[in-house]
Amino acid sequence: MSESLSGLSSPTQLDRDGCDRIPAMERQELIDMIKRLPADSVAELEDFVAALARRQSIVDRKDLHQALADYAREHAGTSADLDPDLEAAASDHLLIQDSPK
């Protein structure tokens, strides 16, 4: 993690990092609990939180991949799928490559 959990100084700092789903009182209680942990436990907590973030990132990537695949299937062959200028440029490029030198 870029910021140490033990370095969290206020609920405002947590808000900035996307934890606005936690009520302010619970955030402060969580911050206070983290501050009371020994250093080795804070390091373990940081590793755990990083693992959770990686897992969420994987889920987000899978969701994005699925959304892109759904869009591609839905729009295949339509004007949203085909770019005439790009198609023409690709054809020209292939013709130039195939021509004898």
What is the token pair recorded at 85? 């200028």
Dist. CA 101–CA 96, nearest whole Å: 9
Q: What is the CA radius of gyration of the chain?
A: 25
Compute mean pLDDT per 10 residues along the chain, 101 residues long, and list them: 48 51 85 92 91 89 91 85 86 85 64
The pLDDT of residue 5 is 56
The pLDDT of residue 11 is 44
Are 8 and 31 in contact by the 8 Å Cβ rule? The answer is yes
What is the token pair recorded at 84? 């005439």
The number of domains in the chain is 1
Phi, psi of 93 (to 5 degrees): -60, -45
Dist. CA 81–CA 90, nearest whole Å: 15
Which structural domain range is residue 88 located in?
5-98
Phi-psi region of 63 (alpha: psi -120 to 50; beta: other; left: phi over 0): alpha
